[in-house]
Amino acid sequence: MKTDKTSSPADIKVDISRSKSAAVGSDHGISPGELREMEPAVLAAHKVLRRERREGTYGFYDLYKDKAAFKSVKQAAEHFAAFKYDNLVVLGIGGSALGITALHTALSEPYHNLMTRRRRKGLPRLFVMDNIDPDTFRAMMRVCPPEKTLYNVISKSGGTAETISQLMIVVAALEKKLGAKALKDHLVVTTSPKGKNAPKSLLHPVADAYGLHTFDIPLNVGGRFSVFSPVGMFPAAMLGMDLDAMQAGCAAMDKRCAKGSLMENPAYLRAVVHYLLDTRKGKTMSVMMPYADGLRDVADWYRQLWAESLGKRNDLDGNAVFVGQTPIKALGATDQHSQVQLYREGPNNKIFNIIEVRRFSRSLRIPEVLTSVRELGYLRGKTMNKLMAAELRGTLDALKSSARPVVRVTLPRLNAHSLAQLLYMLEVETAMAGRLYHVNTFDQPGVEEGKRIARRLMGGDG
Ligand code: PA5
């Protein structure tokens, strides 16, 4: 398999060969000339991004280097672990929820929440409450009684109605059941820092009133880029994830993404392929289809990152441009039986990100049973691992024969190190794509408007 030149065996690999015109034809794939043409634009954008990183405009690049923040989440996790809570409940939405959900699905044992405390090695169950469905929230409050639960309310703005309403319900339940003094042992706040230039977070007066442990989300880090801040890292530490390995994974990818040269930078290569296929070949949708259950919620996290960062009405000069690829999440092999019919034979308007895990943690052999059914001989004695690899290969080849462009990403194994590389690469890719589309990657005016209207409808100041 072809890879970008800078990778080592522990690194994830990016292969764009199936999105090239040689694989899928010039109407649907990129020619070497088209790629080369982009090099000056990429280099120029790289210089702008490097300068803005140096100036501190975007903080996401350097979150993994923040030793003080990592130390403080580890210390707090140790402190709260001593209470032996059964449950950790995250209250948050969008960028405040999707990162930890992706980490949990990828790195905790499958069915973690259904295991006994002993099987969970004493770790709490995780519930990420990212909606205001009263039935679900009520049910969570029953399943997670306040005395056995640590809540982590996460909101950068500190004013998101969905999250604050959840918090109010939790505070009332804690006060009623355990008394106001107990709140500091059951509620942790993650929000923007206090400061003269910082917008006012409504979580500050709450934290002050009850003496709550509070984590800062740096002002220059947007919600969807915050997974490596305390937003993702405190719950991750509570769940026993290997934060050091995540920092190392980010560092490894940061190094690979330091180059301005398109062909040597996996994030830039992916950004350019997506940008060219969208703007020149009509691939207005981007499907992310991992072939591993553990990566299912990475596709969900990426969906928000790509949509909210790039879906913009105006460009940086104020012109109405209405850009942005529509991200779609899928799962292999499951969605072969749900989506692939459309993907192969429907409109050729999509690029496919097929994510592969080379070695699963375990192997599962298909037993040599049902021997009376001769037709099952091809499965007997093989492994599920081999079947998954064959299904993936089948989809890759089927998409190719229908002239559908694919970018393939391979993780050697699914662990904290490789996952951090993947997330970090997708963040850098999004930053580069934003420059290519010439939009503000880091704002979300379309979301803010809806928030304001909802507040007004509820009788707030809008
Ligand atoms: O990425 C973003 O900025 C958004 O999705 C936010 O994370 C989301 O709207 C929640 O905002 P807040 O963290 O301020 O409650």
**pLDDT tier at 4 (50, 70, 90 boundaries)?**
very low
Ligand 1: atom nearest CA of 191 is 13
Q: Is the CB of 99 under 6 A from ligand 1?
A: no
Residue whose entry in the numeric block shows the structure tokens 């229908």: 402
CA 158 – ligand 1 centroid, Å: 9
Q: What is the DSSP letter of 322?
A: E
Residue whose entry in the numeric block shows the structure tokens 């799962």: 331
In this structure, whether the domain defined by 13-54+245-446 belongs to CATH 3.40.50.10490 is answered with: yes
CA 62 – ligand 1 centroid, Å: 20
105 alpha-carbon distance from chain centroid: 11
In CATH, what number does 60-241 get? Answer: 3.40.50.10490
Two structure tokens written together for 57: 């405009």
Residue nearest to atom 12 of ligand 1 (CA): 155
Domain ranges of the chain: 13-54+245-446, 60-241
- The pLDDT > 90 percentage for the chain reads 92
> Is residue 39 annotated as part of the catalytic site, yes or no?
no
Q: Indicate whether 228 pLDDT > 50.
A: yes
pLDDT (mean) for 69-86: 98
Q: Is the CB of 218 under 6 A from ligand 1?
A: no
Structure confidence at residue 1 (pLDDT) = 33
Ligand 1: atom nearest CA of 447 is 9
Nearest Cα neighbor of 405 from 13, 143, 19 is 19
- The pLDDT > 70 percentage for the chain reads 98
CB 401 within 8 A of CB 25: no
The predicted model scores a pTM of 0.96
CB 425 within 8 A of CB 12: yes
**pLDDT tier at 426 (50, 70, 90 boundaries)?**
very high
Ligand 1: atom nearest CA of 94 is 5
Ligand 1: atom nearest CA of 444 is 3
Phi (first) and psi of residue 458, to 5 degrees: -85, 5
CA 133 – ligand 1 centroid, Å: 18
Q: Indicate whether 380 pLDDT > 70.
A: yes
Structure confidence at residue 196 (pLDDT) = 78
Structure confidence at residue 35 (pLDDT) = 96
Active-site residue among 308, 356, 427, 429? 308
Q: Indicate whether 460 pLDDT > 90.
A: no
CB 35 within 8 A of CB 272: yes
pLDDT (mean) for 69-87: 98
> Is residue 337 annotated as part of the catalytic site, yes or no?
yes
Ligand 1: atom nearest CA of 224 is 1
Query: For residues 430-453, b (16+ Cβ closer than 10 Å) or e, as one string?
Result: bbbbbbbbbbebbebeeeeeebee
Residue nearest to atom 8 of ligand 1 (CA): 94
Q: What is the mean pLDDT of the chain?
A: 96
Q: What is the pLDDT of residues 311-361, one digit of tens each?
A: 999 999 999 999 999 999 999 999 999 999 999 999 999 999 999 999 999
pLDDT (mean) for 203-231: 97
Phi (first) and psi of residue 95, to 5 degrees: -60, -20
Per DSSP bridges, beta strands 285-290 and 326-329 are parallel
End-to-end CA distance of the chain: 54
Q: Indicate whether 462 pLDDT > 70.
A: no
Q: What is the pLDDT of residues 158-216, one digit of tens each?
A: 999 999 999 999 999 999 999 999 999 999 999 999 987 788 899 999 999 999 999 99
Distance between CA atoms of residues 91 and 74, nearest Å: 20
Q: Is the CB of 444 under 6 A from ligand 1?
A: yes
Q: Is the CB of 190 under 6 A from ligand 1?
A: no
Instruction: Please count the residues of the chain.
Output: 462
- 204: number of Cβ within 10 Å: 18
Structure confidence at residue 210 (pLDDT) = 98
Going through 201-311 in order, the beta strands assigned E by DSSP cover 213-216, 285-290
Query: For residues 20-57, b (16+ Cβ closer than 10 Å) or e, as one string?
Result: bbebbeeebbbeeebbeebeebbeebbeebeebbeeee
**pLDDT tier at 219 (50, 70, 90 boundaries)?**
very high
> Is residue 308 annotated as part of the catalytic site, yes or no?
yes
**pLDDT tier at 7 (50, 70, 90 boundaries)?**
low
Structure confidence at residue 448 (pLDDT) = 80
CA 99 – ligand 1 centroid, Å: 12
**pLDDT tier at 2 (50, 70, 90 boundaries)?**
very low
Instruction: Output the CA angle 268-103-277, nearest 5 degrees.
Output: 30
Domains 13-54+245-446 and 60-241 share a fold: yes
Whole-Å CA distances, 274 to 40, 206, 349, 354, 411 = 17, 43, 12, 13, 20
Residue whose entry in the numeric block shows the structure tokens 């072969």: 336
Q: What is the pLDDT of residues 36-45, one digit of tens each?
A: 999 999 999 9
Distance between CA atoms of residues 143 and 137, nearest Å: 10
CA 225 – ligand 1 centroid, Å: 10
Q: Indicate whether 56 pLDDT > 70.
A: yes
Who's near 386: CB < 8 A, 6+ residues apart? none
Distance between CA atoms of residues 49 and 43, nearest Å: 10
CA 96 – ligand 1 centroid, Å: 6
Two structure tokens written together for 63: 């979150």
